[in-house]
Amino acid sequence: MNTKNTLVSINNIVKHFDISGGMLDQLQFKNFKPQLKKTTVKAVNNVSLEIRKGETLSVVGESGCGKSTLARVVMGLYPPNSGKILYNGARIDNLTHKQMLPFRKKMQMIFQDPYASLNPRKTVQQTLEEPLRFHNPKISNKDIQKKVERVMEQVGVDPLWIKRYPHEFSGGQRQRISIARGLILDPEFIVADEPVSALDVSIQAQILNLLMKAGRERQLTYLFITHDLSVVRHISTRVAVMYLGTLCELAKARDLFDTPQHPYTKALLSAIPVVGENQAKHIKLKGEVPTPVNLPAGCVFHARCVYADDRCTNQVPELRTLDNGTCVACHAVEENQISV
């Protein structure tokens, strides 16, 4: 892959969470002998991705597939169990807080719930000023005011409302303010974790337009986490599909929607309800998503896949690049068993 164009590189990231609790919770008896057993949620398993400069890379998947965990690992909010995160070629996952500061300035995050992500006791002004003062201790009050006003205008919140508190705003406006907070330090890279999922359709369109406009004007790189596939199709350059902590498919947005390769991607795409189409011709999957506590052996999708054979239950498929640049991890695709 062209490393010059890569802004963030995610290499073999593994993130497991220990949920076993205290010693008494871990205590189990095997053949009448007491032993301690740890229970871990295997949220992200060996995921590698390159995020290129200026692109919008979307990560999609159903709840529990590890997409938000991946975003948080990239941002340095969770330390990975193993693997590396490179930002512009520099490793950032093992840095101390102080070493991380210059990177934090360039990487910002926008969260899902604008009701929970803004401090209710801070005015808009305080919320927006804080990152500026923290990262530029010598900045003058005049510069701060100028910057805050400019960013508020950009996101479409009237600078006259600067002294108001979050509860005085609607959900859409709050999300605009949290976007403003993300933009105020002029970052290069923004991780948006379900930024429009909590909003109504008409407001959702406003926020998506705002994000796309900001992206164009500031040449931002987005890592966009969402479960809404119609949103993904609209905004993404490339799309990564995750299932149970594993990357199944990575493709250009158009290729993914026109010619999905992985059986899971196909099922997922067929489930989107489309306005104006009467009958859903959706592919039914067997069973349900297994828990990430006990991952299935082999391909994580095999129990629900119609193409699964012996090989799928034993051997983990590797991500392979096809002719059109799509990467897919599936034995059946590799063996040409699936007609597209």
Partner 1 sequence: MSHLLNVEDLEVKFALRFGDITAIDGISFSLDKGEKLGLVGESGAGKSVTGFSIINLISKPGFISKGRITFEGNEISAYSDSKMRQIRGDRISMIFQDPMMTLNPVFTIGMQMTEVLMAHRKMSKGQARKIALEKLKKVYIPSPEKRLAQYPHELSGGMRQRIIIAISLLTDPAIIIADEPTTALDVTIQAEIMDLLQELCESDNMALILITHDLGVVSQVTEKIAVMYAGKIIEYGPTDQIVKHPVHPYTEGLIKSIPGTVIKPGEDLVQIPGMMPTLTNIPQGCAFNPRCYLKEDICTTATPELKQKNGAMAACHMK
How much helix, strand and coil, in percent to the nearest 5, is found in the chain?
35, 25, 40
Q: Strands 320-321 and 90-91, how do they pair?
A: unpaired
- Residue 209 sits in the site that holds partner 1 (CB under 8 A): yes
Query: Which one, 288 or 323, has the nearer CB to partner 1?
Result: 288
Closest CB 100 distance from partner 1, rounded Å: 33
Query: Which one, 107 or 285, has the nearer CB to partner 1?
Result: 285
- Residue 208 sits in the site that holds partner 1 (CB under 8 A): yes
Give me 62's structure tokens: 């159903």
Rounded Cα–Cα distance for residues 114 and 152 (Å): 16
Query: Which one, 92 or 231, has the nearer CB to partner 1?
Result: 231
Q: Residues of 11-36 as b/e, b for ≥16 C-beta within 10 angstroms?
A: bebbbbbeeeeeeeeeeeeeeeeeee
Query: Which one, 182 or 215, has the nearer CB to partner 1?
Result: 215
> Cα torsion at 306, 307, 309, 315 (round to 10°)?
-110
CB-CB contact of 226 with 65 (8 Å): no
Piece in contact with partner 1 (CB under 8 A), picked from 127-135, 147-155, 198-206, 321-329: 198-206
What are the residues facing 226 on neighbouring strands?
60
Rounded Cα–Cα distance for residues 118 and 134 (Å): 17
Residue 307's contacts (CB-CB under 8 Å, 6 or more residues apart) are: 263, 330, 332, 337, 338
Over the window 272 to 291, marking each residue x when it contacts partner 1 by CB under 8 A and - when it does not, the resulting string is xxxxxxxxx-x-xx--xx--
Query: Which one, 44 or 235, has the nearer CB to partner 1?
Result: 235
Piece in contact with partner 1 (CB under 8 A), picked from 139-147, 176-184, 195-203, 323-331: 195-203
Over the window 88 to 127, marking each residue x when it contacts partner 1 by CB under 8 A and - when it does not, the resulting string is ----------------------------------------
Closest CB 279 distance from partner 1, rounded Å: 7
Query: Which one, 53 or 252, has the nearer CB to partner 1?
Result: 252
CA-based nearest residue to 179, from 224, 234, 145: 224
Residue numbers at the binding site for partner 1 (CB under 8 A): 62-63, 170, 172, 200-206, 208-209, 212-213, 227, 229-231, 233-236, 253-254, 267-268, 270-280, 282, 284-285, 288-289
